[in-house]
Amino acid sequence: MAFPIENKLVVAVSSSALFDLSESDKVYNEHGLAEYRRYQEHNIDNPLSKGVAFPFVKRLLSFNEIFRDEQPVEVVLLSRNSPETGLRVFRTIAHYGLDISRASFFSGESPYKYLPAFNASLFLSASATDVRNACDAGYAAGRVLDSKIADDDSDNELRIAFDFDGVIADDESEKIYKEQGLSAFHRHESTTDAPLDPGPLADLLKKISNLQRLETARIDVDPTYRRWLKISIVTARNAPAHERVVNTLKSWGVEVTEAFFLGGISKDRVLEVMRPHIFFDDQMSHLNHLHNVPAVHIPMGIANE
- Number of DSSP helices (H) and strands (E) in the chain, helices first: 12, 12
- Region of residue 166 (phi > 0: left; psi between -120 and 50: alpha; otherwise: beta): left
Contacts of 227 (CB under 8 A, 6+ apart): 157, 215, 219
Per the annotation, the verdict on 163 as an active-site residue is yes
pLDDT the model gives residue 123: 97
pLDDT the model gives residue 210: 93
pLDDT block averages, 10 residues each, the chain of length 305:
71 95 88 89 92 96 95 94 87 95 88 92 95 94 87 89 92 72 69 83 95 95 94 87 87 94 89 94 85 89 66
Using CA atoms, how far apart are residues 200 and 222, in angstroms rounded to an integer?
35
The pTM of this model reads: 0.92
Residue 46 Cα distances to 14, 41, 51, 95, angstroms: 19, 10, 15, 9
pLDDT the model gives residue 288: 82
Radius of gyration of the chain, Cα coordinates, nearest whole angstrom: 20
Q: Annotated catalytic residue: which of 25, 99, 136, 163?
A: 163
pLDDT the model gives residue 2: 47
Using CA atoms, how far apart are residues 234 and 40, in angstroms rounded to an integer?
40
* Cross-strand pairs, 259: 233
pLDDT the model gives residue 290: 81
pLDDT the model gives residue 177: 66
